[in-house]
Amino acid sequence: MKVFILGLDGATFDILNPLMRDNVIPNITELCSNGTSAPLRTIFPPVTAPAWLALASGLNPGKTGIFDYINKIRTESNTFAPISSSYYKERAVWDYLGNQGYKVGIFNYPTLWPPPHVNGFAVSGMGGKSGNMCYPPELEAELHEATSGYESKLNLRNPKYKRDIDLFFEDINRIIKKQASALQYLVQSKTWDFFFAVFSFTDWMGHVLWKDIDEKHSLYDSMKSPRVKNRFKETWRNIDEVIGTLLSALPHNTNFISVSDHGMGPLESVFFPNTWLERKGWLKRRRLGWKKLFVENMTLFSEGSDNKYFNWLVRFLRNKLLKIKGTIDLIDFDHSFAYSPEHNTMFGCINLTKTGKSANGFKDLLIEAIKALPKTVKGVEQVDIFLPEEIYSGQFVNLSPDILFIVNDYKCTVEIDLHKKEFRTSPSLLMRTGGHQPDGIFIASGSVFNKMKIPQASVLDICPTVLSLYDLDIPSQIDGRVITEAIKPEVLDTLKLNIRPSRETSVQQTDEMGEENLEDMKKLLKSLGYM
Ligand SMILES: [Zn+2]
C-alpha cells in the first residue's frame, strides 16, 4: 500500500463544484465520485504557512508556535523570525514514516526550506531558494534537466499582468507544465512509499482572478470578465489533465488523497487597525522633530491625491528622510498601548505593548472596542474575535498575537498602514481580489476509502489518518483524529489505531534564520500581495 497526497493550495469546492457540473475537470470529478470527500476546515488564521505545517504535523499553532509566515520567537521581545523547515522536524508525517523505514517523497511543499534531510527526497516549495532547493542537493540539477529549466514561482505583483491578463495565463500555464513534468519525473524515477506534493498555482489563480470568476464581485466587468473566466476554466482543465496523467503514473496499490490548506473567496475591502488605534489614542507616533512635521505635511498633501506615482514618491521621500523601513518604525512603543504588527493581510491581529499590558483592564476595553467596530467604523459590518487562550493549546500559545480577528467574514483584508483612512471600500490591489476562507478540500480515493460525502474533516486530521493507514501508532500530542468514516470498515478492522504516549517534540524557537532571511520572506510576501 502506498499513499500519495496532492495538495492544491487554496482549492475550494466553491470553485470545483461548478467546474465539475460543467464537466471541465473529469478526473477530479471521478476522484470525488469514487471516494470520500469533505470540506477540510483549516486552522485559524487560514494562512498558507501555518496551515501546511498544521496539515503535515496534526498540531495546532499553540504547539508549533507558528501562527503566520513571520512569528514572534520570544514572549518578552519583539524579535520575529520567518517559518522554516526546522519547525517541521521530527513532527511531520514524513518523519514519522521515514523513521519506520518508509521511503518518502516531498515536492514543492510551501515554506519547507532549507530542504529537510528525510528518508527519501524533498523539494522545497514557496520560500525555497535556488541553489539549495532539494535534498539530496543533486536533485535540483535533475529537475532542471527533466523540465528544461525548473520553475516554481511567479511575482503576482508584476505590473505586466495588470496591463494584460493573458500574460498571467501564459506564465501560469508554463509553470503548471514545468511543475507537472518535475512531479511526473519524481513519481516515476524515484523509490517512494509515501508522497506529498503541493501545487501553489491554484492559490495564485484564486487571488488574482476572483473578480472575474465571481459575477457578484463589485469589480466584475460584464464586458471583460467572461473571457477571463473562460481562460480560468481552460487552465483548470489543464490542471485536471495533469492530475489525470499523474493518476495513471501511480503504482496500482496507491491511495490518492487531495487536500488544500484553506479555501478561497472574494475580497471587497480593507480595514486599517493602526489608523483606528491612533484615532482612539491608543497608538502614538514617534516624535521626529522638524522632519516629522515636514513629512506629516507632505503625507497630508498626498492623501488628497489619487496619483499613485506621486503617492509613491511621497512615501519614498518620507522613508528616506525618517530612515524608516515600514509602518512599524513609525510607532512610539513606549507611549502606545497597542498596535497591529506586520502580518499576513488575510486576518487581523493586535498586540498589546508593555504599557498596554500593565494598564489595568485595557485588554478588555480593547476587545469591546473591536467588537463595536460595526457601529463605529463605516464599512465594517461584522467582526469575529479569536482569542489565543480560547482557540489554541500548547506551550507556545503565548507567542500568538494578543488578539486575532476577522472583518466582514474574511471579505476584508486587514493592513497595517498608518497614513490611510480606517476603511477602504475596495481591495487594495487590483491583482488581489480573492482571499482565504476557512474551508478547503478533502478528497480521498483508492482501495481503502469509502464512496461517500462526509460533513467535515480538519487539516489536523490528515497526519493521524495517514499514520493509521500505515498502521503506525499515533503520537499522543497530535490534535487531529483519524477520519475513520472515510475508511472502509473491513480495512478499519485490521488497523491498530493506537495512540502512542509520547514526549512533545518541541522545536527550540530560534532566530538563527537571521535578518537576511526575514527580509527575504517579507519580499516574497510582498510579491504575492500578502503584506
Ligand atoms: Zn495557501
The structural domains of the chain, with segments of one domain joined by +, span: 2-265+435-475, 269-285+331-425, 287-329
Half-sphere exposure at residue 243, Cβ-oriented, CA atoms within 13 angstroms = 26
CA of residue 123 relative to chain centroid, distance: 18
Yes or no: say if 265 and 410 are a contact pair by the CB < 8 Å rule: yes
- Centre of ligand 1 to C-alpha 433, Å, is 15
- Centre of ligand 1 to C-alpha 389, Å, is 25
Residue 346: which of 69, 55, 128 has the closest Cα?
A: 69
Helix and strand element counts for the chain (H, E): 20, 23
- Centre of ligand 1 to C-alpha 440, Å, is 10
Mean of all residue pLDDT scores within the chain: 92
Q: 455 preceded by cis ω (within 30°)?
A: no
Q: C-alpha angle with apex 54: 52 to 56, nearest 5 degrees?
A: 70
Q: Which residue has the cell 486552522?
A: 43
- Centre of ligand 1 to C-alpha 258, Å, is 14
Q: What are phi and psi of 407, to 5 degrees?
A: -115, 135
Torsion over CA: 37, 43, 47, 48 (sign): negative
- Centre of ligand 1 to C-alpha 10, Å, is 5
Q: C-alpha angle with apex 162: 157 to 163, nearest 5 degrees?
A: 135
- Centre of ligand 1 to C-alpha 9, Å, is 5
Number of Cβ atoms within 10 Å of the Cβ of 303 = 11
Separation CA 279–CA 347 (nearest Å): 21
- Centre of ligand 1 to C-alpha 337, Å, is 32
- Centre of ligand 1 to C-alpha 388, Å, is 21
Separation CA 63–CA 90 (nearest Å): 13
- Centre of ligand 1 to C-alpha 11, Å, is 8
Q: What is the pLDDT of residue 466?
A: 98
CATH architecture under which domain 2-265+435-475 falls = 3-Layer(aba) Sandwich (3.40)
Q: Are 2-265+435-475 and 269-285+331-425 the same fold in CATH?
A: no
- Centre of ligand 1 to C-alpha 232, Å, is 18
- Centre of ligand 1 to C-alpha 280, Å, is 34
- Centre of ligand 1 to C-alpha 8, Å, is 8
Yes or no: say if 165 and 228 are a contact pair by the CB < 8 Å rule: yes
Give yes or no for residue 512 having a pLDDT over 70. Answer: no
- For 127, the 3-state DSSP assignment is coil
Half-sphere exposure at residue 281, Cβ-oriented, CA atoms within 13 angstroms = 2
Give yes or no for residue 395 having a pLDDT over 70. Answer: yes
Yes or no: say if 247 and 183 are a contact pair by the CB < 8 Å rule: no
- Centre of ligand 1 to C-alpha 95, Å, is 22
- Centre of ligand 1 to C-alpha 262, Å, is 6
Q: What is the pLDDT of residue 224?
A: 96
Separation CA 179–CA 200 (nearest Å): 10
Q: What is the pLDDT of residue 37?
A: 98
- Model confidence pLDDT, tens digit, residues 248-267: 999 999 999 999 999 999 99
- Centre of ligand 1 to C-alpha 454, Å, is 23
Which percentage of the chain shows pLDDT scores above 70?
Answer: 93
Give yes or no for residue 474 having a pLDDT over 90. Answer: yes
| Cα separation values, 424 from 193, 359, 429, 430, 431, Å | 50, 31, 11, 13, 16
Residue 527: which of 124, 207, 214 has the closest Cα?
A: 207
- Centre of ligand 1 to C-alpha 269, Å, is 20
- Centre of ligand 1 to C-alpha 163, Å, is 25
- Model confidence pLDDT, tens digit, residues 342-360: 899 999 999 999 999 999 9
- Centre of ligand 1 to C-alpha 438, Å, is 11
Residue 113: which of 82, 156, 143, 155 has the closest Cα?
A: 82
- Model confidence pLDDT, tens digit, residues 282-330: 999 987 666 666 766 666 666 556 677 777 777 777 677 766 667 888 8
- Centre of ligand 1 to C-alpha 369, Å, is 31
Does the domain made of 269-285+331-425 have the CATH classification 3.30.1360?
Answer: yes
- Centre of ligand 1 to C-alpha 334, Å, is 36
At 230, which amino acid appears? N
- Centre of ligand 1 to C-alpha 327, Å, is 25
Give yes or no for residue 50 having a pLDDT over 80. Answer: yes
